[in-house]
Structure 1
Amino acid sequence: MAGKLASEDLIAVAGGGLLHRRLFLKAGLVLATAQTATSLRAEEASPPKAEDPADPSWIHKTGLPFTGYGAPSKYEKHVVRNIGGNRTPQGDGVSWTPLEELEGIVTPSGLHFERHHDGVPEIDPAVHRLVIHGLVQRPLEFTVANLLRYPMRSRFLFIECGGNSNAGWHEEPIQRPAGAFHGLVSCAEWTGVPLSLLLNEAGVDPKASWVIAEGADAGLLNVSLPLSKLMDDAMVGLYQNGERVRPENGYPIRLIVPGWEGITNVKWLRRLHVTDAPAMTRNETAKYTELLPSGKARMFTFVMDAKSLITSPSPGQKMHGANVYEIRGLAWSGSGKISKVEVSADGGKSWAEAELQDPVMSQCFTRFRSPWAWDGKAALLKSRATDETGYVQPERDVLIKERGREGYFHYNAIVCWAVDEDGTISHVYA
């Protein structure tokens, strides 16, 4: 192993063995010896290796027939959403995206995180209607078939629950896989009708400044949104990753509000009430409002600030001895593009800039990668995102000093994973 790490290409650019970000673009020794941390869940799910790799049984028989709708391999059955909260078919709860099991930037539709307040309604698209009313010249009612005939646009966008990562406020670091802690965020290609087209068709009154969006779930979830944002880049989402939106993600219609907290992306959209003031509903007063140390409260903090997360190595995975590894992760910002991600292997004493995988898009997941020559000793891994506005992801102590401990939402502090000498990985505050 010492010979591998002595290659002239393995010159550290920061403490803890972090190497040049473009190292893996080179051929040769490094690519031949590099490793990744392996998922413990995948190892547990793997069947005994009874086949001869040179002559496996499946090359001697005809394969399975066609299916009407494809499904993942049975050997990937461990890659599922982590369900929390109320586990009954109807109820209040969440399911987390297994971020540590995925690659690239697109979350498969069947693994997109869920947040339900009253279960998933079974909506007949032939009956469902979207109504626009209030301070408009012409109240309008749209069928789903109507909307499908309008001009559409597509964007790759992340959606993140305002409560994602909120265990970070706890006094003690929670020990879960990365996705079961930070996985109330997903990224998909959303396709739909620009909401400005529909609002312009209705003729918005000059006095209007807010819109109350309401869903068709049993709780009639509703939130207040500034009219200016809806006229700017919001859309009525009809497709997710090329197919109609899944029921748990808003079928047949979902409001898409780029870069803003998940609660504003109202699922099962049924009503848009144009008005001149916010409604001060439960989800913008009792919830999604945070008391600050000053005694004042943060309200209508819609934008999700820049954030990053190392998904490999991460808790629930295992390192296998000193070697060159690839640090992999995701970064995102509701304010635009990610301009830079830095990684640290010494708890933030030194930083190295990671490679950003193309394409880098606004309000979308950005995949980052960085080579790391782990020497087999204890290490502390961190990532830090900077977006195109210049905003830098804060350390946990800085965020707590600014926001206090009465918050529950919008936690975006730098996360630290501790790597022990035996290759185990845990969540620490450092």
Structure 2
Amino acid sequence: MSKDERFPPLRYGPAERHMAESLVELERQMLSGEQAEDCDCKEGMFNSVTRRNLLAGGLAVGGSALAGGRAVAEAPPGAHEYYVQPDPTKEQGRTILNDGGYGSRSQFESEVRWRYPTASLDSSWSMTPLASGHGIITPSGLHFERHHAGIPNIDPLQHELILHGMVDEPLRFTMDDLKRLPAVSRIHFIECSGNTLTEWADPTLKTVQGTHGLTSTSEWTGVRLSTLLEMAGVQDNAAWILAEGADAAVMTRSVPIDKAMDDAILAYAQNGEAIRPEQGYPLRLLLPGFEGNTHIKWLRRLEVSDKPFMTREETSKYTDLMPDGSARQFSMEMEAKSVITFPSGAMKLPRPGFYEITGLAWSGQGKITKVEVSADGGNTWHEAALDGPILPKCHTRFRLPWAWTGDEVVLQSRAVDETGYVQPTLADLVAVRGLNSVYHLNAIQNWHIAPNGEVTNVHS
């Protein structure tokens, strides 16, 4: 299939088409030369995705093979290489703080994000390996990233946040000022509105990391934005806030004042420690349930106004061109979505038998109330169990026991949130939205399982 056929110019601009084609090539490089293992454990079903060298943007990023019980030649990122004891009951283990005082993961775990191979390293993103996750929390080191001008290195002692515009009293805050204010901790997902952008017309990427890897969940800690707005005194006719970042792109987005006063957080911590630099250190805006581009990182300025600011990111980008030529603008709330992470694309089930289907569901409109799973392409549905905690605007883990007979099947999941919204099929979504946009695709995902156990991405 040619590039024009796969990513037609009517829907994909030059930048978006280059982006999508590069993702296809990157995933092809990742999966090339893979051989599936036949074993009883889940590890053997993953087509060696977590046990090999990964190529990300031309850089080898770890994951060496294991052989004969010996240690790998080079430890994966986030790990240290240690001697593997033949019998750990016969000799002492290594000493405490041997890794320098900041904990590391086992050298036998090699999951990593992979980077979209943009021509410029400064404007790119990385994808979360959803298939290897457990529970709902994404490790900070595996949380997806999106940058438009690289990751700034900011001294928190020098960083300030300015709040001005239509307020009674403009205010300036240091990081110490913010940390003295009452704090909250909330668990929320973030999803890029470009998540799944390659999948509108044809099933394109092979793995769930490729199709859905631009979403992650963390515990975020910080001060509520409403606290600062109340301190400054918002004027009566104020309706929008401009949030501005301190990166070289000077990323800006308009935020409705109602959202700012509701559940917006100025986050300085993630999963119990200071927020990571790639996630906005020392301060980022968190807008639970809104598209990722609005969660401005390296936050330095908030300007209150009576109208939106019509920035680049909400006019030429992150809008949805409709079939009649109009555009949906400020479509920031992420609608209910789910995906089966096991079994999923590029895995191989070793033999018929019992498996547990599992995956993630989320909605920017509130809590997930139900997830249904189909093993026959949507003809019949079975309600999955939801693991607790079930939180608003947060990933929710679902599970369903399943006996695979060895027949050809198509697995699907569909989520329902507390507003009653039901995750649509791709056909239903296209009937309303058309094929002129690449953002906000939340359609039901299909995984085809062949009689030999191979799992592939399909459109049913």
Does the pair score TM above 0.5?
Answer: yes
The offset of 1:180, in angstroms, is 2.0
Say whether residues 1:69 and 2:102 are aligned partners.
yes
The offset of 1:50, in angstroms, is 4.0
Which string of whole-angstrom CA distances, capped at 9 and with x for unpartnered residues, describes residues 89-109 of structure 1? x51111000000111000000
> Hey, what does 2:414 align to over in structure 1?
384
Say whether residues 1:143 and 2:150 are aligned partners.
no
> Hey, what does 1:256 align to over in structure 2?
286
The offset of 1:176, in angstroms, is 2.4
Within the candidate set 34, 45, 52, 1:38 is matched to 45
Which string of whole-angstrom CA distances, capped at 9 and with x for unpartnered residues, describes residues 266-293 of structure 1? 0000000001110101000000111101
> Hey, what does 1:125 align to over in structure 2?
156
Within the candidate set 67, 84, 91, 1:48 is matched to 67
> Hey, what does 2:320 align to over in structure 1?
290
**Would the aligned equivalents of 2:198 and 2:205 in 1 still touch at CA under 8 Å?**
no
> Hey, what does 1:424 align to over in structure 2?
454
> Hey, what does 1:85 align to over in structure 2?
117
The offset of 1:43, in angstroms, is 4.8
**Would the aligned equivalents of 1:175 and 1:426 in 2 still touch at CA under 8 Å?**
no
The offset of 1:64, in angstroms, is 2.3
Report 1 or 2 for greater relative contact order, CA contacts < 8 Å, sequence distance ≥ 6.
1
Q: Number of aligned pairs?
A: 392
Q: Give the alignment's Cα RMSD to 1 decimal.
A: 1.6
Task: Report the Cα distance in structure 1 between the residues aligned to 2:282 and 2:166, rounded to whole angstroms.
Answer: 26
Say whether residues 1:349 and 2:389 are aligned partners.
no
The offset of 1:58, in angstroms, is 3.2
The offset of 1:57, in angstroms, is 3.3
The offset of 1:262, in angstroms, is 0.4
The offset of 1:390, in angstroms, is 0.5
Residues 300 and 317 of structure 1, relative CA distance in 2, 3 Å threshold: same
Say whether residues 1:322 and 2:352 are aligned partners.
yes
> Hey, what does 2:196 align to over in structure 1?
165
**Would the aligned equivalents of 1:236 and 1:256 in 2 still touch at CA under 8 Å?**
yes
**Would the aligned equivalents of 2:320 and 2:438 in 1 still touch at CA under 8 Å?**
yes
Give the AA of the match of 1:71: S
- Normalising by structure 1, report the TM-score: 0.88
Say whether residues 1:338 and 2:357 are aligned partners.
no
The offset of 1:49, in angstroms, is 4.2
Uncovered stretches (5+) of structure 1, i.e. residues with no partner? 1-32
**Would the aligned equivalents of 1:105 and 1:367 in 2 still touch at CA under 8 Å?**
yes
Residues 36 and 416 of structure 1, relative CA distance in 2, 3 Å threshold: farther
**Would the aligned equivalents of 1:306 and 1:391 in 2 still touch at CA under 8 Å?**
yes
SS at match of 1:145: helix
Task: Report the Cα distance in structure 2 between the residues aligned to 1:216 and 1:285, rounded to whole angstroms.
Answer: 21
Task: Report the Cα distance in structure 2 between the residues aligned to 1:140 and 1:349, rounded to whole angstroms.
Answer: 58
Uncovered stretches (5+) of structure 2, i.e. residues with no partner? 1-39, 53-63, 71-84
Give the AA of the match of 1:335: Q
> Hey, what does 1:177 align to over in structure 2?
207
**Would the aligned equivalents of 2:448 and 2:458 in 1 still touch at CA under 8 Å?**
yes
> Hey, what does 1:410 align to over in structure 2?
440
Which string of whole-angstrom CA distances, capped at 9 and with x for unpartnered residues, describes residues 29-72 of structure 1? xxxx9968722223545512448xxx933333322232311111
Say whether residues 1:241 and 2:271 are aligned partners.
yes
The offset of 1:401, in angstroms, is 1.1
Give the AA of the match of 2:432: E
